[in-house]
Structure 1
Amino acid sequence: MEISNLPISPSLRSKLLAKGYTNLSSLSPLSPSILAQELSIQCEEAIEILRAIPHATTSKNAYTPHGIIPGAVTAWDMLSEEQMQRHISTGCNDLDTILGGGIHCKEVTEVGGVPGIGKTQLGIQLAVNVQIPVEYGGLGGKAVYIVDTEGSFMAERAYQIAEGCISDILDIFPSNSREFLSCKERLRANNFLDGIFYFRICSYTEQIAVINYLENFLTQNKDVKLVIIDSVTFHFRQDFDDLAQRTRVLGGLSLRLMKLSKTFNLAVVLLNQVTTKFTDGSFQLTLALGDSWSHSCTNRIILHWNGNERCAYIEKSPSLPSASAPYLVTGKGIRGINSNFKRARTMPS
């Protein structure tokens, strides 16, 4: 079979032909990471190409799982894919820096803090920033925003943040630049709002139902690269008397969210509330849903006040050191204290 007849999208086919790949035999020796680097595409798109090759699963040289158990990959392929992943910018350079570039795809990130600290502002900012076109270093994706009965998501605020995002892009890429001309139609605030799918939930059963439905929804909307739940806490704190049952339900929910993040190569962000916990003879603020829930996410970020300054602190991450960075909530959205790089500081005890 010729490359021109391969059952993939026209854009991927044209990239293959432009790089001189004309037949299937030229693709057989390649791994997803090498092909992705050759074509300047994401690793999952390279996997899609290689899986489209007839008899790929039985070909000796084609991309097949390494090992006896189907689905195994090498650690090198995993590392290569991680290094090629784009991140979702928070809008604050200092915070992006301590996060290793921003919010990570294929991971579940929990963001918690006291009321008024900016959790929903950050959520809306991420829902806008995930849509930044690839030409400008973004993911060019869309977002799913799941909101509880508190209804903290405001479309008017999302519009303001989208305008702020566009303004920042134009500060870097003038309106006569090649990048701007190639995607200027997408740089409209109403287009950013069209890229946010909004779900309103009124009970924990509705929350579970929506999350269970997401797999079908994401299959039909493969350009979604971010799922936000604001907040993951509210209904589970209000509607449950049986804490053991709540723990079991939350465990199943977290596993499903993690699976969705891996399967669809997207970021899941859970906004959480705070509660008090009696420790060492005194009450202290801690994130809601208990100690068992704290192990349900990949990364945990605490938003807190440091005097009059808002700070974000990485409390838990398998790959990032604990660090803190200041941020502002402005009319344009989440931003850094200033435009210059500011060294991340450890959170004071």
Structure 2
Amino acid sequence: MDWEHLDLSPQVSAALNKANIKSVEDILTYSVVDLQRITQLSIPDAHQLQKAAAVTLHKDKKVVTALDLYKDQATFPSQHQKLSLGCSILNHFLRGGIPLVGVTELAGESSAGKTQIALQLCLSVQYSAEYGGLGAGAVYICTEDAFPNKRLQQLIKSQHKLRSDVPVDIIRNIRFGDGIYIEHAADIDMLTECITKKLPILLRRGHIRLIVIDSIAALFRCEFTARDAAIKARHLQSLGAKLHHLSTSFTAPVFCINQVTDTMKETDSVLNHLGLQDKKVQPALGISWSNQLLMRLMVFRTPKMAPLPHTSGILRIMEVIFAPHIPPSTCYYTVDLEGVKGIDVT
């Protein structure tokens, strides 16, 4: 590549070509230390090279700063719009809901309410943007259990009670059941085929704008043993890349349900990296999968009943483990016949 537009010395240009770096964007994917190692340049030269690359990209308007994203909401709607959870309290807790670009994980033990939240998202996405939706359907990929159709029908019939913010006429005109596409993946190959072949067709046609996988850990726990850690990590990275590509290309949120494992065998440094140092359980699949996530949520079931007026459900907790726009925090919620409802502790 011709590096003259970066105003580099012949020595630095030759080092870039020798290292097989093909674009200005590639320069910024390396740390200074890595750049120095692969190009054999000095640390000062590597610093200067990165500064020159950053200035060039900024002039070409190929990148924007976080401040640009924050100030100009009209130009970057996907960075500010969220998918509603169908509950004003939970939406407020999550700064609007689920991000439209990226992979969001919901982890928790059995009966914590993970599937209930996923089903509610599948209904919420079908509303127009005015009511927190995306005006399209969802695909629900089951990897272990049968799709909970009976519970879905209960939620559909109760939408007029849960979504009091939406006019009844609008709710009646939405055919919620027709907007949810159900897939069953019995192994990793079937899951990969669904993601790479079936989902792009539905997304291109505008039939769906939400991808739900329930659960992401089931297939990997069945197909890989402890000895296959390296192979499993590669598969997880590949899966994460495919999901990110779909989410970015079609501005479609990906919502993955995950199982949990005991933390006794994990080191403090690993738990700290995952934001789980004080937890008795942690999401399955380890760091390889954690690095694919934009946001990680965990849910817990408590032994207490929800306070008045939520007397019909067990008190549960939703916790933000990490997210780019929300500090670690918690919110109480309950699940009843009408759906998932946040509880305002104030």
Trace 1:100-119 onto structure 2 (pairs within 5 A): 100-119=95-114
Is there any run of 5+ residues in structure 1 with no aligned partner, and where?
Answer: 1-64, 344-349
Matched, 1:324 2:330: yes
Q: CA deviation at 1:73?
A: 4.5
Which amino acid is the alignment partner of residue 304 of structure 1?
F
Greater per-residue helix proportion:
2
State the secondary structure of the residue aligned to 1:336. strand
| Counterpart in the other structure of 1:285 | 281
Q: Indicate how the Cα distance of structure 1 residues 139 and 342 shifts in structure 2: closer, same or farther if over 3 A, else same.
A: farther
| Counterpart in the other structure of 1:336 | 342
Q: 1:224 aligns with which of 208, 211, 221?
A: 208
Q: CA deviation at 1:110?
A: 0.3
**2-structure distance, mates of 1:137, 1:114:** 28
Q: Indicate how the Cα distance of structure 1 residues 244 and 93 shifts in structure 2: closer, same or farther if over 3 A, else same.
A: same
**1-structure distance, mates of 2:78, 2:133:** 15
Contact 1:218 1:264 in 2 (8 A): no
* TM value normalised by structure 1: 0.68
Matched, 1:263 2:249: yes
Contact 1:94 1:326 in 2 (8 A): no
**Which string of whole-angstrom CA distances, capped at 9 and with x for unpartnered residues, describes residues 230-257 of structure 1?**
0011010011131210100100110111
| Counterpart in the other structure of 1:54 | none
Over the matched positions of the two proteins, sequence identity in percent amounts to: 30
Q: 2:158 aligns with which of 154, 164, 169?
A: 164
* TM value normalised by structure 2: 0.69
| Counterpart in the other structure of 1:14 | none
| Counterpart in the other structure of 1:154 | 148
Larger Rg: 2
**2-structure distance, mates of 1:116, 1:210:** 27
**Which string of whole-angstrom CA distances, capped at 9 and with x for unpartnered residues, describes residues 124-152 of structure 1?**
1100111123453432221011101322x
| Counterpart in the other structure of 2:318 | 312
Trace 1:1-349 onto structure 2 (pairs within 5 A): 67-68=59-60, 72-75=62-65, 78-79=69-70, 80=73, 81-82=76-77, 85-151=80-146, 153-169=147-163, 171-173=164-166, 175=168, 180=169, 183=170, 186-187=173-174, 191-214=175-198, 216-241=200-225, 242-277=228-263, 278-279=265-266, 284-308=280-304, 309-337=315-343, 341-342=344-345
**2-structure distance, mates of 1:164, 1:184:** 10
**2-structure distance, mates of 1:272, 1:84:** 25
Which amino acid is the alignment partner of residue 125 of structure 1?
Q
**Which string of whole-angstrom CA distances, capped at 9 and with x for unpartnered residues, describes residues 15-67 of structure 1?**
xxxxxxxxxxxxxxxxxxxxxxxxxxxxxxxxxxxxxxxxxxxxxxxxxx975
Which amino acid is the alignment partner of residue 152 of structure 2?
A
Please, what is the CA RMSD of the aligned residues?
2.6
Which amino acid is the alignment partner of residue 97 of structure 1?
H
